[in-house]
Structure 1
Amino acid sequence: MPRSLDTHGRPGQNLPIAPFDAHAASAHVREQGADHAPSLVEQVAKVPTDPGCYLWKDSSGEVIYVGKAKNLRARLRQYVTLTDDRAKIPLMMQLVASFDYLVVGTEHEALVLERELIAQYHPYFNVDYKDDKSYPYIAITRGDVFPAIKYTREKHRPGTRYYGPYTDSRAARETIDTLRKVTPVCSATCAEWKRVQRLLAKQPDDADVIELICANQGRPCFDYHVGRGPGVCAGMISREEYAKNIRRVERFLSGQRRELVNDLKADMAEAAAELDFERAGRIKRRLEVVNGLDDRQQVVFPTSVDLDLIGFYREETIAGACVFVVREGRVQRTCEFILDKGFDIDEVELTAGFVKRYYDETSDIPSEVNVAVDLADAEVIGEWLTAKRGRVCRMHRPQRGEKHRLLETAERNARHALMRYMMRTGYSDDRTNQALLQLESALALDAPPLRIECFDISTLHGAFTVASMVVFTNGKPDKSQYRRFKIRAELDEANDFASMSEVLGRRYAPERMADERFGSRPDLLVVDGGRPQLTAAIRQLEELGLDIPVCGLAKADEEVFVPWDDTPIVLPSGSASLYLIKQVRDESHRFAITFHRELRGKAMTASILDEIPGIGPKRKRAIMRHFGSMKRLRAASVEDISAVDTVNMKLAREIYEALHAFSRESSNEDATYSQQM
């Protein structure tokens, strides 16, 4: 069994670890950092090549990341040499001062140990629940002589089996209420059940005759009288019969309702055969409760499958997760979670982290777990889930069919869950305020940039060149202030420098600055591009005699160029400030390219009919009057076009071919433009 170890590699008490086989899970820890400590690279070179877990620590000794590896040395070397291409690694390694590692026997044991360590330390760079609350579970106290059912948020205890988590506490309570109508079992909140437990604690040797003791000394509780309690408190049920009820409850919670229905039907038939019609009537009412539940469930699969589908929706530093629990081919419940990581880590790591956390805390494991990405350690996770379940469980990525459709539905529900959370908690407003303060500090502004204006140029080899101006007020898009410009300069090729100079000269000309329709003076001017675009903006502002803070944002490496330093500023990955300035830049790009395509499309489609032999002004007016718009004309068939007066079949075919040739050419130009951008 691995033991907790202190900072000198001695046994300690501060690291509770799940027990493993003594031979397969011998653990060794090396604490880095003596008076003449070698570098991290040198320390990693001495790490063994066995499977195990590693803990990265900061200068204060706090664990900031926990991971597992099949080969510890090779995995740690990827970190210290920065060959791990995940976006968070450079930032994390700047904070790392030391590391620990623990060696175990197999990769499966490393996975279990990783979950134990993450649960203990809650490292910042690992995926965790955002709201950090305890979710409700339905628990069966299997360690008791007469196990009871309860609704709980407690940390998992040995001897108790937990089902969930439920993100809707009302649904969990209603499930317990329904269960006790179907199969009477004791509730852990029942005073009489607690009395029986105290009696057993005082007289453990009397467990075999507890029914007789209760029959002589106890009295039925209220739940017994209304059909939800089995009468343990008054010796009305044997331990064997009660154990049968508990097994039914566990099968119900595991989604095996069909088996429960068959048992109840057999009991009802047996009671009717014995002419015990009162008991048969009670069982019939229980069957009606179960069938009523099935009527409310949506059948999603023609076969009786047990699986979970997990969908995610990510924002910059936060994500929503939705689990569809499908049992016997029906969606029995959905669970929604908010995670504290988003685009700041890759989708594979986010998915793997959530899967490990979720199934570490539940006993309800299906035969198949469906996610939208291929996990690197899917096989190991499958082995771990199989061991927990006692039967085969595998990871799967559906790419078509009903599973894929339902997984997309789970992703949509994850998005709605995240939006509700952000609205409920004011997360967006807090993050926006944080972003503005970070930009003020990073760009050396006099005040937070409450009004940000951003410009972008869109062109295709110098033709149909346009510019966009988008405005963010208090960190939010202010679309009433958006403006777009046609570049007037005659350009033989794309020239962002000249185009940017022109649009800034027009926007910040004295007459425009005095025009209320253009709003107030910006607190920050952002140009889409690197040093050339920034230089053009600075020169134009100097010519106008304006002192407006300005920066450029390059798309390649998300670097921010500023006038006072040749070295670009790199805002922290995942920071609120980087997210905001990228949002401003992307919105300006979207607005510019939309106008560019609209302008180009109008110019080309307006003249396409004029270029077709045989179409003069009269026929052109007749065609446009018949279809109403170029969009409807392009969607028309040859037969539809020939229905226009004065247009014969031959001319209709020529019009059709010309329009579709133009559409293909336009699509190719759009692809070329996107590649250039």
Structure 2
Amino acid sequence: MADQDKIDRIKRELDKVPTEPGVYLWKDKTGQVIYVGKAKQLRARMRQYVNFQDDRAKIPLLVDQIDTFEYIVVNNEYESLVLEKNLINQYAPFFNADFKDDKSYPFIAVTESDTFPAIKFTREKHKKGTSYFGPYTDSRAARNLIDITRKVVPLCSARCPDWRQMTRAIVKKGYDAYAAQPHKQCFDCHVGIGPGACSGAISPEAYKDNVEKVKRFLRGNHREFVDELTSDMQDAAANLEFERAARLKGRIDLIGKLADKQHAVVSGDMNADVIGFYREETIAGVHVLMVREGRVINGNEFVLNKGKDVPDTDLVHNFMLRYYDATTSIPRQVICATLPEDAASMEEWLTKKLDNKYGARVRIVEPERGEKHDLLEMAQVNARHTLMRYKVRTNYEDKRINEALLQLESALALDAPPLRIECFDISTLHGAYTVASMVVFTDGKPDKSQYRRFKIRADLDEANDFVSMQEVLGRRYAPERMADQRFGRKPDLLILDGGKPQLSAAMEQLGEMGVDIPMAGLAKRDEELFVPWQEAGPVVLPSGSASLYLVKHVRDESHRFAITFHRELRQKGMTASILDEVEGIGPKRKKALIKHFKSFKRLREASLADIVDAHVVPEAVARDVYAVLAQYNELRTNSEDDATGDSDGR
């Protein structure tokens, strides 16, 4: 029976899995994929395993070995079916088949600096004189591709002892001295996956042709090999070389089987990398779909250590530099949601790396519709889940919050980490419908049960956030409120949106009340914190720090909560009075109009003909109703951007 602590952990992680169609991969504690399945609704289907709602006999044994999981979101059930088939055929998990997932993202390398370059599987740092292909999602897939490649185009393997001995001899004595002596063929040459370089069966020049073919094959250009091999097979058959023709036919079949394992997603002959980003705080998830000849041949995910503080153009630029510097598998197109700032230079760099003999150029595109846009959306969805899985796996949010609270304790000279933070914001429209919000963060997270809203009672002819702030603080920290358990305990830190002026108003108000609370005023422009004990200047939290993001999150939440309440009151006030301005409209006719159109919103959106044809009011009154509603709609549109929660009444 599976360990209950492990099951409980997996259940918590499953809470973050989306309710969308896709494919899921269960993994054991070594990281090896032991089962691949598809689902119309990922979260519900995966929960059936750990809740033992699936009555298949293998489920208890499977769950006993499960330690982690991954999933890929797709657009519909058909795509999940095709992708499940591809993953099972390609990776062969144990409970479907066998597969090992290796998060180190291995590469396939060709040692071009050698006289007879060899192909190898590697995780090494990129070395000069070696071409790298990948990265690949798992080591088994990379090794399988090496085997297939050598069967299609014979090439020496770096694991072959005869090749290593030959390479050492050539380095020491030179190729001519090595070739002058007789040598036996290696085992790989006997079975047809080695070209016989060790025995002199192939010249360095002819061997280089094989190397170029291997490089094109690893880049995903398979169709040209089918045409070339088919032509050679037909020539061999015409010359009665049936054994050679059979070998060529086997190579063609291998390429066909490889294509069957890859998911066809586009109608054309697309050769592209589709890069999806999802950003959050100082980290970003990236998912790259490698599309070659209209098929997704690989999908890789990365987590970058830069998030919201870095512009999209810089993030795309930095990732592309790092990613394409690590691989020689360059596509004809790079599809992304945001072009790098230096797109033209990036295209030129990639074109040089592509080094196409026909002069093909690499284009970086930003699609707005069509198949490319659909692929980009799929990559972005999977980038979001890449980041989500990383955060769950590393317990990122809790670590980040703890770090933020400790940083605030130090930066603001608090006696202890601020486990309860309260923040106030004012929202008004030139003194009308003035409201205040109070949001509460407990242990660094929003505590919405403690949120409070206040209608400002002061008679204001214009926006006066200082008076409004003093009123709301006086009401919140009055003795009866402090004793009211519904308002919670006294905060460890009070944050005021508006900087030093709001801080001064709060200090005056709380000083008169005899309430001692550590407080800070947050200036919006430079994200600076003004504190009572430092006259020299504000406290500046480091850019990108956990503490700065927490403070901004608190401020943004209070701002959102205040604006929502303000707009709600303004809408109710304007709705209640607007029809009363129409001569000939009394309570009965107003009620009849609302009843006919089902809601005030539908009445407001109705045309003059709709109101007249309703026959609820006389035509002349209907025209007046329409005119007043048109003025109301115009006023509402113009005032949407006027109401904010800042001290200047924006």
Indicate if the aligned counterparts of 1:324 and 1:334 stay in contact, CA closer than 8 A: yes
**Counterpart residue number, 1:285:** 253
For 1:672, what is the secondary structure of its paired residue? coil
2:561 paired with 1:591: yes
2:118 paired with 1:148: yes
For 1:15-164, list aligned pairs within 5 A.
135-144=105-114, 146-164=116-134
Match of 2:316 among 340, 351, 359: 351
CA distance in 2 between partners of 1:254 and 1:220 (Å): 24
Q: Sort the Cα spacing of 1:472 and 1:170 in 2 relative to 1 into closer, same or farther, 3 A.
A: farther
**Counterpart residue number, 1:531:** 500
Q: Give the TM-score of the pair, scaled to structure 1.
A: 0.69
Match of 2:353 among 381, 384, 388: 388
Q: Sort the Cα spacing of 1:614 and 1:168 in 2 relative to 1 into closer, same or farther, 3 A.
A: farther
Q: Sort the Cα spacing of 1:638 and 1:419 in 2 relative to 1 into closer, same or farther, 3 A.
A: farther
Q: Deviations over 1:126-185 (max 9, x none)?
A: xxxxxxx96421112334455433221112233321112335555544544554565555
1:278 Cα deviation after fit: 3.8
For 2:307, what is the secondary structure of its paired residue? coil
Match of 2:158 among 181, 188, 211: 188
**Counterpart residue number, 2:224:** 259
For 1:565, what is the secondary structure of its paired residue? coil
CA distance in 1 between partners of 2:272 and 2:553 (Å): 38
**Counterpart residue number, 2:17:** none
Which sits farther off after the overlay, 152-161 or 475-484?
152-161
**Counterpart residue number, 1:422:** 391
1:200 Cα deviation after fit: 6.6
Indicate if the aligned counterparts of 1:454 and 1:585 stay in contact, CA closer than 8 A: yes
**Counterpart residue number, 1:502:** 471
Q: Extract unaligned runs of 5+ from structure 1.
A: 1-132
Indicate if the aligned counterparts of 1:449 and 1:524 stay in contact, CA closer than 8 A: yes
Q: Sort the Cα spacing of 1:384 and 1:646 in 2 relative to 1 into closer, same or farther, 3 A.
A: closer
CA distance in 2 between partners of 1:370 and 1:314 (Å): 18
**Counterpart residue number, 1:574:** 544
Q: Deviations over 1:193-220 (max 9, x none)?
A: 657667877885476589x7334xx445
1:360 Cα deviation after fit: 2.3
CA distance in 1 between partners of 2:620 and 2:222 (Å): 67
2:480 paired with 1:511: yes
Q: Sort the Cα spacing of 1:676 and 1:508 in 2 relative to 1 into closer, same or farther, 3 A.
A: closer
2:325 paired with 1:360: yes
Q: Sort the Cα spacing of 1:158 and 1:534 in 2 relative to 1 into closer, same or farther, 3 A.
A: closer
1:621 Cα deviation after fit: 3.0
2:269 paired with 1:299: no
2:447 paired with 1:478: yes
1:463 Cα deviation after fit: 0.6
CA distance in 2 between partners of 1:490 and 1:170 (Å): 73
Residue identity opposite 1:508 in structure 2: Y
Q: Give the TM-score of the pair, scaled to structure 2.
A: 0.72
Q: Sort the Cα spacing of 1:646 and 1:137 in 2 relative to 1 into closer, same or farther, 3 A.
A: same
Match of 1:487 among 452, 456, 459: 456
**Counterpart residue number, 1:122:** none
Q: What's the C-alpha RMSD, in Å, of the aligned pairs?
A: 3.6
CA distance in 2 between partners of 1:259 and 1:608 (Å): 72
Which sits farther off after the overlay, 275-284 or 230-239?
230-239
For 1:139, what is the secondary structure of its paired residue? strand
Q: Deviations over 1:317-355 (max 9, x none)?
A: 333334444444554434332223334444444333333
Q: Sort the Cα spacing of 1:253 and 1:461 in 2 relative to 1 into closer, same or farther, 3 A.
A: same
Match of 2:413 among 444, 449, 454: 444
1:439 Cα deviation after fit: 0.9
CA distance in 2 between partners of 1:284 and 1:397 (Å): 34
Which sits farther off after the overlay, 505-514 or 178-187?
178-187
Indicate if the aligned counterparts of 2:314 and 2:341 stay in contact, CA closer than 8 A: no
Indicate if the aligned counterparts of 2:179 and 2:200 stay in contact, CA closer than 8 A: no
Residue identity opposite 2:264 in structure 1: Q
Q: Sort the Cα spacing of 1:642 and 1:405 in 2 relative to 1 into closer, same or farther, 3 A.
A: farther
Q: Sort the Cα spacing of 1:181 and 1:676 in 2 relative to 1 into closer, same or farther, 3 A.
A: farther
Q: Extract unaligned runs of 5+ from structure 2.
A: 1-102
Indicate if the aligned counterparts of 1:214 and 1:233 stay in contact, CA closer than 8 A: no
For 1:553-564, list aligned pairs within 5 A.
553-564=522-533
Q: Sort the Cα spacing of 1:290 and 1:547 in 2 relative to 1 into closer, same or farther, 3 A.
A: same
Q: Sort the Cα spacing of 1:181 and 1:503 in 2 relative to 1 into closer, same or farther, 3 A.
A: farther
Percentage of pairs with the same residue: 57
1:252 Cα deviation after fit: 2.1
Which sits farther off after the overlay, 466-475 or 623-632?
623-632
Match of 1:666 among 632, 636, 643: 636
Residue identity opposite 1:545 in structure 2: G
1:448 Cα deviation after fit: 0.4
CA distance in 1 between partners of 2:143 and 2:630 (Å): 61
CA distance in 1 between partners of 2:385 and 2:482 (Å): 41
Q: Sort the Cα spacing of 1:536 and 1:219 in 2 relative to 1 into closer, same or farther, 3 A.
A: closer
Indicate if the aligned counterparts of 1:135 and 1:167 stay in contact, CA closer than 8 A: yes
Number of residue pairs matched by the alignment:
535
Q: Deviations over 1:449-486 (max 9, x none)?
A: 01101010000011111111111111111112111111
Q: Sort the Cα spacing of 1:530 and 1:634 in 2 relative to 1 into closer, same or farther, 3 A.
A: same
Q: Sort the Cα spacing of 1:488 and 1:149 in 2 relative to 1 into closer, same or farther, 3 A.
A: same
For 1:610, what is the secondary structure of its paired residue? helix
Residue identity opposite 2:635 in structure 1: E
CA distance in 2 between partners of 1:164 and 1:613 (Å): 75
Match of 1:333 among 280, 298, 305: 298
Indicate if the aligned counterparts of 1:230 and 1:236 stay in contact, CA closer than 8 A: no
2:214 paired with 1:249: yes
For 1:199-218, list aligned pairs within 5 A.
204-205=175-176, 208=179, 213-215=183-185, 218=186
Q: Deviations over 1:548-585 (max 9, x none)?
A: 11111011221211112332222222222111111111
Residue identity opposite 1:388 in structure 2: K
Q: Deviations over 1:477-534 (max 9, x none)?
A: 1112111111122211111111111111221222222222222221101111122211
For 1:668, what is the secondary structure of its paired residue? helix
Q: Sort the Cα spacing of 1:596 and 1:237 in 2 relative to 1 into closer, same or farther, 3 A.
A: farther
Residue identity opposite 1:646 in structure 2: V
Q: Deviations over 1:61-111 (max 9, x none)?
A: xxxxxxxxxxxxxxxxxxxxxxxxxxxxxxxxxxxxxxxxxxxxxxxxxxx
For 2:517, what is the secondary structure of its paired residue? coil
Q: Sort the Cα spacing of 1:494 and 1:451 in 2 relative to 1 into closer, same or farther, 3 A.
A: same
Q: Deviations over 1:277-311 (max 9, x none)?
A: 744652452242144145x13117x4x45444544
**Counterpart residue number, 1:603:** 573
Indicate if the aligned counterparts of 1:271 and 1:279 stay in contact, CA closer than 8 A: no
Indicate if the aligned counterparts of 1:318 and 1:342 stay in contact, CA closer than 8 A: yes
For 1:214, what is the secondary structure of its paired residue? coil
CA distance in 2 between partners of 1:362 and 1:199 (Å): 30
Q: Sort the Cα spacing of 1:281 and 1:372 in 2 relative to 1 into closer, same or farther, 3 A.
A: closer
